[in-house]
Amino acid sequence: MGGLFSVIIFLGIIWFISSVFSRASGDRIIDVEKMEWAQKLKKKFKFIIAAIAVLVISIKSIIVIPPGFIGLVIFFGKINKTPLENGIHLINPLAAVVRLSVRTEEYTMSAATAEGHVKGDDAIDALTSEGLNVRLDLTAWYRLLPDEAPKLYETLGPDFETKIVRPALRTAIRDAVVKYTAAGIYTEKRSQVILDIENILKTLLEGRGILTEKILLRNVILPKKIIDAIDAKLAAEQEAQKMEFVVQKEQKEKERKTVEAEGIKQANQIIAAGLTDRYLQWYRIDMMKQLVNSPNNTVIFIPEDMKTTPIINIPDKGNK
């Protein structure tokens, strides 16, 4: 706006000079040729002024909104309720345009010095259900809603992150953490804590023109004694799981041996059922024949019932 007023003032000065020159030329007694030259000069001045005015108005009337942004048209302090989308637009040359990003933005609160939006240690402190203090590093993804951006800018201005996003995020974190124990946040309840923070933050920002997309819980910092207790508990649980596995393994081995013994027992029962007296007598005679013909030096066979004549086979010494 300041540049436009400067151009208008400059054009006014040129117009004033040309008018004075025109009146001065009329008051003097000059010949026809000088009068014609003055008239031509005056026309040129008017043409130059008109061309500059048209150029300035054209430049101020054409606005380009880049991708991922919207434009808010402000005319004499009043914001147009319909934002400009990305592309080329023709507007009132006296209006101003404020560009706002509608892309996904991030707001980080971190204990690391150079990571967060606030320099230094900006991790959020919160109390758990048992009254212990935990510190959280996290990042919030959010974006502006284009249709609600004029109201947001009108009520909060351009620094809405400081005025509403940060306070709402801190409140959502504390309201969610207080429902859980420190050990739960550090282990199995981590995903539930993130979901609770997202839901609370969406509720706090509802109607403000800001949409919460996702919460990223980067780190949970617990007191050292709590971390040691959690590590000891996890170690004990792992050892218990290991012993349970060993017991299951031994149980399976017991079942395997039982099945094996049952199979052997059934096999022996089948064999015993087929061992008749005649079969055993035949088998004994057959074995005696094999022993007699054996290349061993000495074979002595003693019958079990002591009723059969013993068989003694002693080879000749010359065969040794």
- In angstroms, rounded to a whole number, what is the distance separating the alpha carbons of residues 33 and 13? 27
Q: How confident is the model at residue 1 (pLDDT cuts 50, 70, 90)?
A: very low
pLDDT digits (tens, 9 = 90+) for 220-236: 888 777 777 767 777 77
- In angstroms, rounded to a whole number, what is the distance separating the alpha carbons of residues 218 and 77? 42
Q: Which residue has the higher pLDDT, 48 or 201?
A: 201
Task: Report the percentage of the chain scoring pLDDT > 70.
Answer: 70
pLDDT at 194 over 50: yes
* CA separation, residue 59 to residues 12, 56, 92, 267 (Å): 19, 5, 11, 104
pLDDT at 101 over 50: yes
Task: Indicate the domain borders of the chain.
Answer: 2-98, 104-222, 277-319
pLDDT at 28 over 50: no
Position 212 scores a pLDDT of: 92
Position 195 scores a pLDDT of: 94
User: In this structure, are residues 111 and 123 in contact, taking their beta carbons and an 8 Å threshold?
Assistant: yes
Q: Which residue has the higher pLDDT, 247 or 53?
A: 247
Q: How confident is the model at residue 314 (pLDDT cuts 50, 70, 90)?
A: low
Q: How confident is the model at residue 205 (pLDDT cuts 50, 70, 90)?
A: very high
- In angstroms, rounded to a whole number, what is the distance separating the alpha carbons of residues 67 and 72? 15
Class of domain 104-222: alpha beta
pLDDT digits (tens, 9 = 90+) for 129-177: 988 888 899 999 999 999 999 999 999 988 899 899 999 999 999 999 9
Position 307 scores a pLDDT of: 57
Position 21 scores a pLDDT of: 52
Residues 287-300: what's their mean pLDDT? 64
pLDDT at 211 over 90: yes
Position 220 scores a pLDDT of: 86
pLDDT at 25 over 60: no
How many residues does the structure list for the chain? Answer: 320
Residue 69 corresponds to which tokens in the numbers above? 């942004």
Q: Which residue has the higher pLDDT, 206 or 292?
A: 206
Position 299 scores a pLDDT of: 54
Please work out, in degrees rounded to the nearest 5, the angle formed at the alpha carbon of residue 275 by the alpha carbons of 274 and 281: 140
pLDDT at 20 over 90: no
pLDDT digits (tens, 9 = 90+) for 237-274: 777 777 787 778 888 888 888 888 888 777 777 777 76
Mean pLDDT score across all residues of the chain: 78
Q: Which residues pair with 89 in a beta bridge?
A: 63
pLDDT at 27 over 90: no
Q: Up-side HSE of residue 98: CA atoms within 13 Å toward CB?
A: 19
